[in-house]
Structure 1
Amino acid sequence: MKHTETKPCITLAAYIHSFWELKGDDSDSQWERIFPDGCPGIVINLGEPCKTDNGLATMDHGKTYVVGAMSSFKDSFIDRNTHLLGVCLKPAVFSSFYNYAPQNELTNHTFEFDSPHSFDIGKINNDSAAYLNRYFLDRKRSLNESLQSVLNDIHISKGNVNIYEISKKNFITVRQLERAFKTHIGLTPKEYVNIIRFQSALSMMSDVRQKKSLSDIAFECGFYDHAHLSNEIKRHTGLTPSQF
């Protein structure tokens, strides 16, 4: 399996993490697992039909799909005929490009886009990065600045933050914040904070230079103890720390 990423143009940097491409090869014939990161995405299938959402959905050739933010892991089946091209959007920016649906209606699911929102398979095959940059530049609207400020605080703290305190700091009630997250992110503030904290721990676990114990990582990331972190890893990945 070959996975490559390309950064968007500078004008889209605040909206899009990356454009990515995944191609299977002769050694592939297995389920691949992805973990939640709080981000939605758009995917076009350039290869054979591909099963996703743990086998509950199939992406067909030439079709474009919207992928909601995930609250847990999901598996997709990758084989030699798999060829996917996708866009990893940043949290809370979907509505800056589309008038489609509240994000909570998309959470943990993959839905086929209708024609007005779909990518042009002919143009995307010629120069995918140039096409995607132009596609999103033509649709770009302003960001939700108040929500971006909240997200920035969550990321700076690496998810080790109190929802009430962050609401107070940004002059918004917890109820208002919950509604904004439901509409623009598809997760509750608590779910999102937990995912960011999990991702922070995951990054530390993957850094072979640090060689920190699970207890040290749990402490630094704000988990109650080693067991609390282990349970969060299991919930978000389906794996125990030792399996991971």
Structure 2
Amino acid sequence: MNTSYQEFKPSAALQPYVDTYWLHHFETDSNEESPIQRCLPFGTLEMIFHLDDNLCHVLMNNNWQKLPQAFFVGLYRDSVQWKSVGTGRKFGIQLKPESLLQLFNVPVASLFNDFTDLENVFGKTINRLVEKMHGLQDIKAVIEAAEAFLLARLKNLNDERNYLFEATRLIRQSKGNLSIESLSDHLYISKRQLERSFKDNYGTTPKMYQRIIRFRNAYEYFHQTSTAPSWLDISYNFGYSDQAHFIRDFKEFTNDVPTVVFYDTGQFFRKYTSWGIHMSC
């Protein structure tokens, strides 16, 4: 059996809205199950498509459940376990949280820490995209279909100045090291107003999103190293008060200590390498 994971950059026009495209491929000669994989919370929304007939399973309430053919994932704060059964490919579109509001005017508060069939978010018209992608063997063709769908939404773009959009971007730009008080002062809004807007649109607080982004940046940093780094140095460099604070946050988002996650190459398939497919506008 073989498991592979690749990431692809979006076109320049979509980079303000799309974090990355990714492809996960599990290949086996039988109906063998893949090793259990674990997805971690990285502060993005996801549109995920099974490109083949074999559907993955997700662990929900201690039971393995088959996932839909295509589904939408809201912001998560928990790690999620899943597995493939037999050969299959999953393609994902990682969206920045504000992008769904900008491109589709759809809030995702009800999907915090949850997922649903794509049709429940985008309506029946999304099934045309699902059908178009299904069975495509060339990843470039898959990405082209995704790009055409998203680029068509730019004409409906909500590009008015919006403090929620700006707050979300500023938290990412600061790598989660901008306090909510400083953020509120910078945007000339009250902390309570900012918290209400996050809760109404994303389903969580700006503080939680800030913590997720800080965790993501620390995780991405050490995940690219070949030898285990100093957790004390990471704590200092990524704005944690001390090493205990870093490890406590890390365990909350992964259910494991950093050392275990660093050496576990079976569950954590995410590789931070972008592959060279350049999409034109």
Q: TM-score range by the shorter chain?
A: 0.7 to 0.9
Which residue of the partner structure matches residue 138 of structure 1?
Answer: 152
2:126 corresponds to 1:117: yes
2:49 match: 44
Residue pair 2:235, 2:243 contacting (<8 A) in 1 also: yes
Using the alignment, how far apart are the partners of 1:153 and 1:97 within structure 2? 19
Q: State yes or no: 1:217 paired with 2:222.
A: no
**Which whole-Å CA distance do the structure 1 matches of 2:232 and 2:184 have between them?**
30
Q: Does 1:59 align with 2:67?
A: yes
Indicate the SS of the match to 1:70. coil
CA pair 86-51 structure 1, distance change in 2 beyond 3 A: same
Distance in 2 (CA, whole Å) between partners of 1:85 and 1:22 is 7
In the superposition, the TM-score normalised over structure 2's length comes to 0.77
TM superposition score normalised by structure 1 = 0.88
C-alpha deviation, 1:66, in angstroms: 0.8
Instruction: Compare 151-160 and 49-58 and name the one that shifted more.
Output: 49-58
Which has the bigger relative contact order, CA under 8 A and spacing at least 6? 2
Could you list the runs of 5+ residues in structure 1 that have no partner in the other structure? none
Query: 1:81 deviation in Å?
Result: 2.4
Distance 1:109 1:167 in 2: 28
Would you say how many aligned residue pairs link Structure 1 and Structure 2?
241
CA–CA separation in structure 1 for the residues paired with 2:59 and 2:75:
12
Root-mean-square deviation (CA), in Å?
2.3
- In 1, the alpha carbon distance for the partners of 2:243 and 2:85 equals 37
Q: Tell me, what secondary structure is at the counterpart of 1:118? A: helix
Residue 176 of structure 1 aligns with an amino acid whose one-letter code is: Q
Q: Given the alignment, which residue of 243, 247, 257 partners 1:230?
A: 247
- Structure 2 CA distance for aligned equivalents of residues 168 and 104 of structure 1: 24
In the aligned structure 2, how far is the partner of 1:235 from the partner of 1:143? 35
Report the equivalent of 1:6. Answer: 8
The alpha carbon displacement at 1:182 in A equals 2.1
The equivalent residue for 1:179 is: 196
Are residues 87 and 119 of structure 1, via their aligned partners in 2, closer, same or farther at CA, if it must alter by over 3 Å? farther
1:152 positional shift = 3.1
Q: What corresponds to 2:268 in structure 1?
A: none
Partner of 1:20: 22
CA displacement at 1:57 relative to structure 2: 4.5
Report if aligned partners of 2:8, 2:22 keep a CA contact under 8 Å in 1. yes
Partner of 1:76: 82
The answer to whether the 8 A contact 1:53-1:110 is kept is: no
